[in-house]
Structure 1
């Protein structure tokens, strides 16, 4: 029999993972990427002696990366290494208080009690709740397709369905967190996890309180070589597995034979395949690559509310700050007003929460000696035509003012290099509709069921992976989407 052919559209982390899995299954796999580099949102660049990971900066659930090497019969450590962080993140509050999120649960509970007065039992009770939600939802909502009958016939799924009342889907994250803690700073700390999938803690269901478990139970890590080493190591594995990558090759069209995907068109050349997998945002997949077939569009899904986006300043800083670590958060004084600005006003709050990532804290070569590379990010709305030039100008001033006050030094003269990424450039570089980072938002109880499936229900042999489809955005879920696609292809 001839070798089956698979075509992957997009070399984001989900597309690469899917390519590896299909190659291991015996497919001849080709990946077509519009950019000159792989990785999608997870990319890197250098400026004036500073190296930056341009996209995701938090690495959790490394077992999903290791799994790909083991699947291909390789030792992950021969390709990719990482270290567990002792301190996950430093938190700075407007009142001057600080919180150090230790990876060790006992040390973290002691730190919380010292800084907020909340008891260890309150923390343990919260952790048990988060772990319970994970135990119920992991096998159903994350590791399997919600759109296959087979999923609902397993004993694990049936057990989870019987416990669905325990996942706290009918309260918001904020309401649930207020029921656990009296200290507003700790409520704000746990509300922050809604931003991990671009949602609003004052709207998103408390089911998302599973996210702290992924970070605090499984840990956070720093990959040797920076976040982009995840991509470079997986590309190497893929190529050794026979995958062919084609860069600077934007796809013109997904070609259908009736209601079956038969291949793609690139530069007016037809390339046939048994399987077509889109790692492009599902919105652009339909609107651009399938625009000849509007009758097949899942309009309700395509018109769903998008997740939030990001505004990032990449700053080369001519100083080192001992009070900062790899991950740092500077909270807003009015968190609800900040989210109202993002979600209701489609704007940026004058006092935004600032995330500051400094990879040179662990990899000194990422910045010149005595300097630091600051990845400075705030959450912003998706692009719906705002005056971004004005918003960016105001946000830059507010961020500098906030960081300078917290650090006790004017940082303006310390900035010797700068690049900016905003929702417009996120959309143009990564084909993410409106610059949203995680596809659709999770601001409703049924969001998990409303995401686009990993296989088209109307077009045979067409599959989808990546952050815009099930199970969601972020590195771990994108990798799981690749696993789901490979299992469904069987």
Structure 2
């Protein structure tokens, strides 16, 4: 009996993971990728002797990567190695405060007590609260479909629903953090976690305070070959289980007849398939690949507020800075004004919080000797027609002034090379509508329930994975979307 054929649209991390799971399940799997390389946002840039991880730079929950290897009866360590970070992130404040967010709770609590006005116990209590949110939401809301009745008939789901108030959905993240900490610097530190899924801490529910648990319980890691090695090693695994990748092949249409998937149309030819899984942003999936079937479009979902985007400068720096680590945050002085600019004014604040990732701290050959590769990012609004050339130029100057002041050295003359990624190029390179990094925002207490399902309720054989659908954006959740899709397929 011939194998069923599964066609995957897009070789982003979720598309690759879905391909592996379906191949192990017995499908004949082919992945169609518009670019000449896999990974989507999880790609890399090489220029002038510097290598940069282009997209996601924080690696947490490595068990979801390892799980794919064990699922395929492979030893994860034969493919993939990573090390746990002792310091998750270094924080730099305008008042001169510098904090090391140690992975180990006692060390982090001691740092908080010594550098701020908060007692160590406040940090311990907060992380316990974060752990409780995770224990309630994990198996129900993150690892299963929220769009199937059987999910809600399980006892652990019922138990989680009964504990629903414990996930703190009715306060904003900022309000909850203000009630947990008195020191504004610590409040700002934990408000920052809203940006992990492109949201606003002054609007998003405090349920997002689950995120610190992922870092300070499970830890943060650095893959031996850099973040792009996650993509490379999962592609190798996929090929080892007979997944076929077809690059430079943008999909033009998902072929649907009588509300049933028949395959894909790419480069003027039809490819037949029993199952189609779209790893493309759900907005483009409908507006481009299913444009002939407007009656099938979930208009309310497609009209939801988009997540924030990013402006990233990839700078080759002709010097090393020992005071910096792999992950570094330079906070702005007025966090609420910063988010008001992003979400209300659709603009960039003059004093933005700046994130700098330097993978050469752990992978020396990512930069020439005596140099560093700086991935410099700020959060910005999704593209709604702003003058990005003007915004990028102004933001670049503001960022250079901020970093130079903090480090006590003019950074501009140290820039040996530069690449730039803004919301326009994020959209064009990764098919992320308006350049939003995480699909829709989570600025709503019911956002988790309002994301697009992983299985179409209107087209038989059509499924969805990736950051724009349930359970959300970021590497761990993208991998979980693949885990959810697999049992839904026939």
User: Does TM-score exceed 0.5, indicating one fold?
Assistant: yes
Instruction: Name the structure 2 match of 1:339.
Output: 339
Matched, 1:456 2:448: no
Unaligned ranges ≥5, structure 1: none
Give 1:249 deviation, angstroms: 0.2
Q: Report the CA distance between 1:140 and its aligned residue.
A: 1.4
* Shift, 1:425, TM fit: 0.1
| SS of residue paired to 1:252 | strand
CA distance in 1 between partners of 2:165 and 2:420 (Å): 44
1:35-71 per-residue CA deviation (whole Å, 9 max, x = no partner) reads 0000000000111000000000000000000000000
Equivalences for 1:9-158 in 2 at 5 Å? Answer: 9-158=9-158
Cα deviation code 1:119-160 (max 9, x no counterpart): 122111111110000000111111111001111111211110
CA distance in 2, matches of 1:452, 1:486: 16
Partner of 2:273: 273
Aligned to 2:474: 474
Pair 1:422 & 2:450 matched: no
Query: How far apart, CA to CA, are the structure 2 residues paired with 1:307 and 1:4?
Result: 36
- The list of structure 1 runs, each at least 4 consecutive aligned residues, that deviate by more than 2 angstroms after superposition, is none
**Quick one: distance in 1 between partners of 2:121 and 2:355?**
29
1:458 is displaced (CA, Å) by: 0.7
- Tell me, in whole angstroms, the C-alpha distance in 1 between the residues paired with 2:304 and 2:356: 30
C-alpha separation between the residues in 2 aligned to 1:179 and 1:354?
Answer: 26
* Distance across 2 between alignment mates of 1:443 and 1:2: 46
Q: Give the equivalent residue in structure 1 for 2:359.
A: 359
Q: Distance in 2 between matches of 1:124 and 1:415?
A: 41
* 1:321-332 superposed matches below 5 A: 321-332=321-332
**Counterpart residue number, 1:319:** 319
Q: Deviations over 1:234-264 (max 9, x none)?
A: 0000001010000000011100111011101
The DSSP-based 3-state class of the residue aligned with 1:175 is: helix
Partner of 2:161: 161
SS where residue 344 of structure 1 aligns? helix
Q: Which residue of 2 aligns with 1:174?
A: 174
Task: Give 1:356-395 correspondences, 5 Å limit.
Answer: 356-395=356-395
> Once the 2 structures are TM-superposed, how far is the Cα of residue 100 of structure 1 from its aligned partner?
0.3
* 3-state SS of paired residue (1:30): strand
Residue deviations 1:272-329, cap 9 Å, x none?
Answer: 1110000000000000000001011000000000000000000000000010000000
Do structure 1's residue 302 and structure 2's residue 305 form an aligned pair?
no
Between the aligned partners of 2:214 and 2:172, the Cα distance in structure 1 is: 19
Aligned to 1:403: 403
Query: How far is the alpha carbon of 1:80 from its aligned partner?
Result: 0.3
In structure 1, C-alpha distance between the alignment counterparts of 2:155 and 2:24, rounded to whole Å? 28
Number of equivalences: 490
> Partners of 1:232 and 1:487 in 2: how far apart?
25
Give the deviation of 1:478 after TM superposition: 0.1
Report which stretch shifted further, 140-149 or 189-198.
140-149
Q: CA deviation at 1:204?
A: 0.1
Q: Using the alignment, how far apart are the partners of 1:457 and 1:349 within structure 2?
A: 41
1:117 deviates by 2.4
Q: SS state of the match for residue 251, structure 2?
A: coil
Map 1:201-216 onto structure 2 (within 5 A): 201-216=201-216
Distance 2:128 2:105 in 1: 12
After TM superposition, list the pairs within 5 Å mapping 1:186-205 onto structure 2.
186-205=186-205
3-state SS of paired residue (1:313): strand
- Separation in 1 of the partners of 2:329 and 2:268? 48
Cα distance in 1 for partners of 2:276, 2:45 equals 30
C-alpha separation between the residues in 1 aligned to 2:122 and 2:53? 36
Aligned to 1:2: 2
Q: Give the SS at the match of 2:374.
A: strand
1:268 is displaced (CA, Å) by 2.1
CA distance in structure 2 between the aligned counterparts of 1:270 and 1:358, rounded to whole angstroms: 44
Query: Helix, strand or coil: the match of 2:345?
Result: coil
Q: Which position in structure 1 is the counterpart of 2:437? A: 437
Normalised to the residue count of structure 1, the TM-score between the two structures is: 1.00
For residue 413 of structure 2, what is the aligned residue in structure 1? 413
Report deviation, 1:435: 0.2
Q: In 1, distance between residues paired with 2:457 and 2:488?
A: 13
Q: Measure how far apart 1:222 and its partner are.
A: 0.1
Please say if 1:288 is aligned against 2:288: yes
How far, CA to CA, are the matches of 1:305 and 1:331 in structure 2? 26
**What's 2:236 paired with?**
236
Specify every segment of 5 or more residues in structure 2 that has no aligned partner in the other structure, as ranges. none
